[in-house]
Amino acid sequence: MKKVRIGVVAAALVAAAAFTLVGCSANTAPPSTFVLLDGSKQSTADLKGRVTLVNFWATSCTTCVAEMPRIVATYDKYKARGFDTLAVAMSYDPPAYVVNYTETRKLPFKVAIDNTGDVAKAWGEVQLTPTTYLVNKKGEIVKRYVGEPDFGELHALIEKLLAESA
C-alpha cells in the first residue's frame, strides 16, 4: 500500500511539474499583448517569422540582473539573422526601476512591463524569475528555462531554429 501511495504522489508531482499555457495548444505561444516601455504594444502574433527569446525578469532578481549581460550578448550575436528578444518585467517590479535599469544598461531589445500580471499568467503562471521561453519562427514554444539558461545549449538551439524555415 505504501509503494502505491508513493507512486501516486510521484506521478502527481511529475504532472504538476509539467506546465500548461492558458488558452493555447501545447506548443503555441499564448495570445498576449505586451505593453512596451514606450507605450506601444506588441502581440504574440508579432513574434511569428523570427526566433524570439521571451524573458520574464525583475530588477529585484539577482539572477535576472546577473544573466542580463549574456542575454544582451545573445541578442547582439543573432539579431542580424532573424533573432529577437523581449524582456517582460513582472507586475511587482516598479515601472520606474524597470525604465532606469533599461536606460542605464542600454538594453538593445524591447522591454515590456506586465502591469496586471496577465501576461505571466498566460505564459504558464510564471512566478519564478528568471523564466525564459524560446519561441520558433512559427510562434511555438520550443524550450522553457526556469533560472539562468545554459547559454551554450541555448545558442546551439537558437542556431538550429534560425536554420529552419518558417
Digit-by-digit pLDDT tens for the chain (166 residues) are 444 444 333 333 333 333 434 434 458 999 999 999 999 999 999 999 999 999 999 999 999 999 999 999 999 999 999 999 999 999 999 999 999 999 999 999 999 999 999 999 999 999 999 999 999 999 999 999 999 999 999 999 999 999 998 7
Longest dimension (CA), the chain: 60
pLDDT of res. 165: 83
CA-based nearest residue to 21, from 110, 144, 150: 144
Give dist(CA 59, CA 122) in Å, integer. Answer: 21
Domains of the chain: residue spans and CATH: 22-163 (3.40.30.10)
CA-based nearest residue to 90, from 43, 46, 58: 58
Alpha carbon 58 to chain centroid, angstroms:
12
